[in-house]
Amino acid sequence: MDDTHLITLLSGFCFDFTHMFAPGGLKDEELDALLPQLQAAEKGLSYIRKEGRAYHHLSKDGVPEAVYFTRLPYVAEDHPNTPQLMTQLEAFGKKVSQGFDVVLFSGVGGSYLGGKVLYDCYQSEFWTHHDTPVPKFFFVGNNMDTEDMKNIGASLLAMAAAVKEQEGRKLRVMLVPISKSGTTMEPTTGFLFFYERCQKHADQIELSVTVVTDPAQKDGPLMRLSKAYDWEVFPIPYGIGGRFSVLSTPGLIVAATLGMNLSQLLAGAANMDEVCRGSDWRRNPALFGAAVKYLAARDHGASIEVFMPYAMRLKALGEWYVQLLAESLGKRQDRNGKAVFYGRTPLVAIGTTDMHAQTQLHQDGIRDKVVQFLFIDSLKGKIHLHNPFPEVEALRPYENMDVGRALEIAMEANEEALMSDGRMSALYRLPQLDEFYLGQIFYYLMLSIAYEGELANVDAFDQPGVEVYKKIMRRKLGK
């Protein structure tokens, strides 16, 4: 294999962009010609790292706003993640895991998706160590689906009845609303509904509340209520947009409650930050990834990215990445105010499930896609089949089959099929899934998207398009 387009870190994390350069795909000369933009992109990220600012970035109110996501891996007094915050998070995690039956996280967007990734990964069969008991988790406030709300409410009452019958006590529930402003509709709806439902059944449910919000919003509902009811408050840090917040309080509070090692999660991110520096695309995997997808979209018409992990539990990672990419790169104007209508469309597929659903389109449809594969090596060797029907000839090849290796072969076949028709794909390969590698993949994806924003000269840290529907909705609701 040509390793010119493959970067393997000392941690074992491998970035394989080989099939982006197959016949019909990119050429090295295109990347070399992009050097001035690559140098400018690296300069832009260096400015963010040093100054905590992004060129021409303003808040939705039109004032300069900090960009601190590159400081998240490093715990320090003047960083978003302070030593005091880490101590508070770890204490909260122990308190909830040891003293509560249920925890309800009410958040939407970046206040939900990152935490859902952490939960799904931790509950998966390929998590490397999983010996900490955790309460029952519910993620609410990410939609206003009334059936879903009613069903979760019914589940709480059923659990409360069982605990009362079996142990003679109340069901202990921790409700955690997560909202920077304290007024976001979906998490506010979830918070109000489940608070009222639990209080209504106070004879069966013992409710506690912990708030995650912006402490600067002193007149915000969550800050006012926390003061009135003496609820514990965790800060959403300044300079961290929701889609970049998984390694700050909204994500870390979920990780702490799961019993994850927060230091290792941030250590993985810090390691990735150290290796993703410099304008040489052959040595900087985040810049390399940003460059090939930028060129694929700009010059080859491949403006759709299909994020395709070969693991059911990583579907949430794909959904998190969809928000990260879409909100960061989908922009009407560049940073000079020129109309550019830039963006790539992210989609999620799961191997092998969607090989029986989407792959027909990927293989024979319009040539407008890059398929981004993700594989976890530790999936292999865990299950070897035994065929109890040796008399059936068609089933004999399944005897002693390594299911994880078969999963990998399916992915390799998908890669090769796409390459045979000149269709571009790339592969992220992790040795295993634990806090360190999860921190690596989160931070890599955030950094790569930030680099692409620099290459496209768009503000990767605002989201003016979102405000349009919000204003209409507020007017319709009479707010």
pLDDT digits (tens, 9 = 90+) for 317-369: 999 999 999 999 999 999 999 999 999 999 999 999 999 999 999 999 999 99
Query: Which comes out higher in pLDDT, residue 369 or 123?
Result: 369
At a CB cut-off of 8 Å and minimum separation 6, what does 387 contact?
395, 396, 398, 399
Residue written as tokens 């405000």? 467
**In terms of DSSP H, where are the helices of 100-212?**
113-122, 146-167, 185-200
CB 422 within 8 A of CB 24: yes
CB 266 within 8 A of CB 75: yes
What is the separation of C-alpha 24 from the centre of its chain, rounded to a whole number of angstroms?
Answer: 31
| pLDDT higher than threshold 90 for residue 106 | yes
At a CB cut-off of 8 Å and minimum separation 6, what does 353 contact?
312
Could you give the CA distance from residue 371 to residue 349 in angstroms, rounded to a whole number? Answer: 9
Instruction: Tell which residue, 171, 118, 32, has the closest CA to residue 319.
Output: 118
Q: Is the peptide bond before 352 cis (omega within 30 degrees of 0)?
A: yes
Residue 274 confidence (pLDDT): 98
CB 352 within 8 A of CB 413: no
Cross-strand bridge partners of residue 139: 105
Could you give the CA distance from residue 354 to residue 305 in angstroms, rounded to a whole number? Answer: 15
| pLDDT higher than threshold 90 for residue 411 | yes
Q: Is the pTM of this model over 0.85?
A: yes
Tokens of 474: 């507020």
What is the separation of C-alpha 138 from the centre of its chain, rounded to a whole number of angstroms?
Answer: 18
Fold: same for 3-59+266-466 and 69-260:
yes
| pLDDT higher than threshold 80 for residue 25 | yes
* Residues 260-297 pLDDT 10s: 999 999 999 999 999 999 999 999 999 999 999 999 99
CATH number of this structure's domain 3-59+266-466: 3.40.50.10490
- 306-to-339, 426, 438, 460 alpha-carbon distances in Å: 26, 10, 20, 20
Residue 125 confidence (pLDDT): 59
Residue 127 confidence (pLDDT): 61
| pLDDT higher than threshold 80 for residue 72 | yes
Angle at 233 between CA 228 and CA 238, to 5 degrees: 120
Cross-strand bridge partners of residue 339: 333
Could you give the CA distance from residue 282 to residue 398 in angstroms, rounded to a whole number? Answer: 41
Q: Is the dihedral of CA 45, 48, 50, 55 positive or negative?
A: positive
* Residues 388-398 pLDDT 10s: 999 999 999 99
- The b/e string for 291-315 (b: 16+ C-beta within 10 A; e otherwise) is bbbbbbbbebebbbbbbbbbbebbb
Instruction: Tell which residue, 272, 407, 295, has the closest CA to residue 352.
Output: 407
| pLDDT higher than threshold 60 for residue 1 | no
Amino acid in position 179? S
Could you give the CA distance from residue 95 to residue 160 in angstroms, rounded to a whole number? Answer: 20
Q: What is the dihedral of CA 212, 92, 238, 326, to 10 degrees?
A: -70
Q: What is the DSSP string of 11-78?
A: TS-EEE-GGGSSTTS--HHHHHHTHHHHHHHHHHHHHHHHHS--TT-B-TTSSB----GGGTTS--TT
Catalytic residues, which ones? 327, 356, 470
Pick the CATH number of 69-260 from 3.30.1130.10, 3.30.70.1350, 3.40.50.10490, 3.30.70.3270: 3.40.50.10490
What are the structural domain ranges in the chain?
3-59+266-466, 69-260
State the average pLDDT for the chain.
96
Strands ordered across the beta sheet of 232-235: 136-140, 102-106, 171-177, 205-213, 232-235
* Residues 438-463 pLDDT 10s: 999 999 999 999 999 999 999 999 99
* Residues 144-202 pLDDT 10s: 999 999 999 999 999 999 999 999 999 999 999 999 999 999 999 999 999 999 999 99
Q: How many residues does the chain have?
A: 479
